[in-house]
Amino acid sequence: AMRRATMRQGSWADRLRAMMNERTDMFIEMRDEGEFAVELLHCPKGSVRRAQETFEREQFELLVDFLTAASDEGQLRAEANGQKSDVPAMAEAIMIAYASFSPPRLPPLTSDEIHRKLAALHDIILSGLFLDHDAA
């Protein structure tokens, strides 16, 4: 779902926003499915841990590829201001910022409340990242 979101029509900011919304919606759905669904995501054992590591690696690689493509098109704000973008560091920082919207830190709020707070984070991240960002 995150990968599909990056391929949608729209600005770079819109596509990153959609990617992180898809990610958060999946976690909300898992949280709402069952009492222990979220805990299973952070089981430190065997195949669950390997699946989590695979997801984190693929998420990082997706972000790096996405930001590299935006950079190649001259759409990163840092480069427009004459700075060189460290895309892997940007991807890591984005993952850290959005980690507050994933288990086990996913707030025990309604989906609407989570999306309101998520929209605020989007505005902070996207306004600093992309030239084409307009607050949604």
pLDDT at 39 over 70: no
Provide the pLDDT for residue 136.
47
Question: pLDDT at position 47, please?
Answer: 80
In the prediction, which pLDDT does 18 show? 96
**Which amino acid, residue 28?**
I
Looking at the predicted structure, is the pLDDT value of residue 135 above 60?
Answer: no
Q: Which residue has the higher pLDDT, 61 or 49?
A: 61
Residue 16: partners with Cβ closer than 8 Å, 6 or more residues away: 6, 66, 125, 126, 129, 130
Three-class DSSP category at 74: coil
Distance between CA 21 and CA 4 in Å, rounded? 12
Which pLDDT band holds residue 30 (cuts at 50, 70, 90)?
A: confident
- 84 vs 61 pLDDT, higher one: 61
Say if residues 12 and 70 touch (Cβ distance below 8 Å): yes
Contacts of 120 (CB under 8 A, 6+ apart): none
Q: What contacts 84, CB < 8 A, 6 or more positions away?
A: 78
Lowest mean pLDDT among 1-15, 64-78, 95-109: 95-109
pLDDT reported for residue 32: 82
Query: What global pTM score does this model have?
Result: 0.84
Assigned token pair, 83: 């700075």
What is the residue whose two structure tokens read 């029509």? 9
Residue 96 pLDDT level (bands cut at 50, 70, 90): very high
Cα–Cα distance, 125 to 13 (Å, whole number) = 9
Q: Nearest Cα to 13, choosing from 83, 96, 57, 73?
A: 73
- In this predicted structure, what is the pLDDT of residue 130? 87
